[in-house]
Chains A and B, each alone.
Chain A
Amino acid sequence: MRKRLYRVLVALIGALMVLLVGSPGAAQATETPPPDATAIQVTLQDEANKDAEGNPKPIPGVTLEVSKDGEKAGEGVTDDKGVAIIVVDELGKYTVTLDEKTLPEGTVLDENTKGEATVQVRFQGPNNRAIFPIGVTAGEESNFGKDLAQNLRAGIVFSLVLCLAALGFSLIFGTTGLSNFAHGEMLTFGALMAWTFDQVFKTGALASVSVLLAGIIAVLLGGLGGFAQEKILWGPLRRRGTGLIAMMIVSIGLAIFLRYLFQYFYGSSTRSLSQYNGQQREQHWYYLWLSLADREAIIVLISIVTITAVCLWLAKSRMGKAMRAVSDNPALAASSGLRVDGVITNAWVIGGALTALSGVLYAMQLQVNAFMGMRILLVILAAVTLGGLGTIWGALVGSLVIGLVYELGPLFGVPTSIKEIGPLLIMIVILLVRPQGILGRKERLG
């Protein structure tokens, strides 16, 4: 007997809200509105809990409130078809808020959706429809243990993806001393490249391995991007003796430059890869009490293999040792005849490739847009600061802790809509108690 576990829903369409004038389908609603009234119709369906034909089950008895400009404009409760019709007085922009407390026992909002959506009531014809991403996920029962299992799984996946980016950051910081604020954009670059090449391959003969190929190309391009950055920008700056703080500000300029360049070419919409995007029916894998969707299993596998390989490489290979030597003491490394410039170039190439890989995996787990890197940059910074700025092993530990805090925080009272604050607060606290980070050495501080 396989234990059926809580399943996460990543579907965009959780509920359908229709603006209608006297819809016949609403006849069974408890309060039938006058047929000529302007109204907002909300349908709530449980995507995770489907009946025999595969249709999602409706969710009855949920209170919805409609407001305009902060003023309450109406309220409705979903009937046994999951439909609520809320009459509004005029056209305009309304906010529909779902009262989470009235959701049936064991049903919680899907992690990708909010309990709030904006509805533009523009037309008065009956066929105007608007679709909004209010999703609801049902669990057979919701208890702390199951929430923990689910968040733990999300946390592990996120930790590993974060770890790749943090490793990249640490390699570059360790060898150059630069806190690179454009690191988030290096991650975005990986994700966007994967999406772009996925577009190329997905219709051709290679469609079955489209994402895989696109991912490999994206990682190679990420390494190339790192190389180009070092050769065109950072190397020359270093050689003319530019201070680290000046370089940090240059990196902010670069971040803004790249971010809007991406937006210029890719717009601000959010995209998905053609495979492993969570929208197809997925195979699930069960490990002890964790269940992983196949795409998550792939992410975990690729991350662990890559992280292990990088760590072994750092520990065993000549270049890896040289890199650590430069991180520990650049002056000493230089005087012992190491080619510091060569080591730094290597760090940029590998750092760039790792970060691009992190972006590809992040794109698989969630989605792609031009601003994704900006939002995750602070979490990366929290991870490396927590572990100890510039220490390779610190990046591993820091990412693990931060990734778990990020996903587990909501179980311990961190509001879900702002779960970024968990890692950031942890980082600030750590700096208070142990400024060199978990694994950093005290001597590295000023």
Chain B
Amino acid sequence: MDILDILRAALQQALGPQAIVFALAAIGLNIHFGYTGLLNFGQAGFVAVGAYGLAVSVVTFGAPFWLGITMAIVAPLVLAVILGVPTLRLRADYLAIVTIAAAEVLRFVFGSVEMKDTFGGSNGLNGYAGPFQDANPYSSGIDLGFISFGRNDLWSLTVGWVLVALCCLLVWALMRSPWGRVLRSIREDEDAVRSLGKNVFAYKMQALALGGVIGGLGGMFLALKQASVVPSDYSTLMTFYAFAALLLGGAGRVMGPVIGSVLFWFLIAGLGSFFSQSAGKGGWIPTVIMTDTQASVIRYIMLGLAIMLLMIFRPQGIIGDRREIAIDGR
């Protein structure tokens, strides 16, 4: 076993594109759940329409690249309105069920054989990211000694982390304002806010839309980085990973989702590397207990366990403040 190797794999993922996608998805969730108390279990759907908004407009409808980028922002906005109108007046668990259902419906539709001409079926779409790759100002990759990124990755990472920083800045500016105060109040008691003359529904809708669009930016980034969109990327697991990252970092904190996402991928990649080195041929764990295939599964078992334990024992995450955490985990 090579500790350095494990660390390298973990660090590469923690700073890499996956962490950016999930940081953006989790920032969106943070606005929904951390600040407003909306239980959106369909963030993967918002991420997906962001990615497909770009890909479909460019590939299927031949729109110019800038229009594709615009669509990546408009599509989640539309989704938020469609989902919000029926459910935001209802109890929190209804929103959860409808959003998770809608996200799955979207994934099924994007991947369906019947609509292959529009969405590319299970193979997805590609061939739209040219302008993004052409805009790459770097002439070579970067080697930091311990970890290194190629030329294309470096460009993606630059764009991605700048996007994350901008979103954090926006969330910070919004949440210190009276608007943010209304959201935090809704999180705690809608009726109190209503009794003071605030249109709770409108605020919830704004929060859902903003968080959805930021999630959609995550999808757009993933689409640009991968140069292809595939429906299987946007399963409910994506939502729950983003939730795990958010809870890990700390809901209701500006930097919570970012720290959470980086740490989440550090742990997932680190554990993956650790177990794949430990099991199978040459590993110290006998194959009776753990085979190669099992080694790739064990980190997800630990992930599930971690979500439970975090929620029960430290619902405020790493940097959250227990006194004002949205959900009372106690």
Chain B neighbourhood of A420, CB < 8 A: 104-105, 108
Which of A155-163, A194-202, A247-255, A279-287 is the contact stretch?
A247-255
Q: How far is the CA of A193 from the CA of B15 in the complex (A)?
A: 42
Question: Is the Cβ of A116 less than 8 Å from the Cβ of B113?
Answer: yes
Q: A179-B96, A256-B300, A260-B297 are in contact. Are A237 and B113 (CB under 8 A)?
A: no
The reply to whether A424 and B114 form a contact with Cβ atoms under 8 Å apart is no
Given the complex, which residues of B lie within 8 Å of A254, measured CB to CB? 304, 308
CB-CB under 8 A from A4, the residues of chain B are: none
Count, chain A residues at interface, CB 8 A: 49
* B97 with A264: CB separation less than 8 A: no
* A245 on interface, CB distance cutoff 8 Å: yes
| Residue of A242, A259, A374, A418 touching B109 (CB-CB under 8 A) | A418
**A337 on the interface (CB 8 Å rule)?**
no
| Most chain B CB neighbours (cut-off 10 Å) among A241, A260, A425, A435 | A260
A253 near B297: Cβ-Cβ < 8 Å:
no
User: Chain A's nearest CB lies how many Å from the CB of B244?
Assistant: 8
Asked whether, in the complex, the Cβ of B304 is within 8 Å of the Cβ of A257, the reply is yes
Contact A415 B114 (CB under 8 A): yes
What is the minimal beta-carbon distance from B272 to any residue of chain A, in angstroms?
A: 13
Q: A179-B96, A427-B98 are in contact. Are A252 and B104 (CB under 8 A)?
A: no
Which of A248, A258, A264, A421 meets B294, CB within 8 Å? A264
Smallest Cβ-Cβ distance to B290: which chain A residue: A264
Docked-complex contact B327 and A243, CB < 8 angstroms: yes
A residues within 8 A CB of B300?
A: 256, 259-260
User: Given A245-B327, A385-B94, A253–B298 Cβ distance below 8 Å?
Assistant: no
Within 8 A of B (CB), among A60-98: 70
Given known contacts A424-B101, A424-B104, is B93 in contact with A248 (CB within 8 Å)? yes
Contacts of B328 in A (CB 8 A): 241-243, 246
Of B91, B98, B190, B312, the contact of A250 (CB 8 Å cutoff): B312
Q: Contact between A237 and B97 (Cβ–Cβ < 8 Å)? A: no
Q: Min CB distance, B33 to chain A, in Å? A: 9
Q: Which of B293-330 contact A (CB under 8 A)?
A: 293-294, 297-298, 300-301, 303-312, 315, 327-330
Whether A428 contacts B301 in the complex (CB less than 8 A), given A243-B329, A248-B96, A435-B90, comes out as no
**A260 partner, pick from B108, B115, B304, B310, beta carbons under 8 A:** B304
Whether B94 and A259, one on each chain, are in contact in the complex, defined by CB atoms closer than 8 angstroms, is: no
Give Cα A421 to B102, complex, Å.
9
Q: A431 is contacted by which of B87, B113, B247 (Cβ under 8 Å)?
A: B87
Query: A446 on the interface (CB 8 Å rule)?
Result: yes
Q: Can you name 24 A-B pairs with beta carbons within 8 Å?
A: A70-B123, A114-B113, A116-B113, A246-B311, A246-B327, A246-B330, A248-B96, A252-B307, A257-B305, A260-B303, A261-B301, A263-B297, A378-B104, A385-B94, A415-B112, A417-B112, A418-B111, A420-B108, A424-B102, A428-B98, A428-B101, A432-B86, A435-B86, A435-B94
Residues of B within 8 A of A (CB): 37, 39, 85-87, 89-94, 96-98, 100-102, 104-105, 108-109, 111-115, 123, 190, 236-237, 240, 243, 247, 293-294, 297-298, 300-301, 303-312, 315, 327-330
User: With contacts A264-B301, A389-B93, A421-B104 known, what are 6 further pairs, Cβ within 8 A?
Assistant: A115-B113, A241-B328, A245-B92, A246-B312, A264-B294, A389-B94
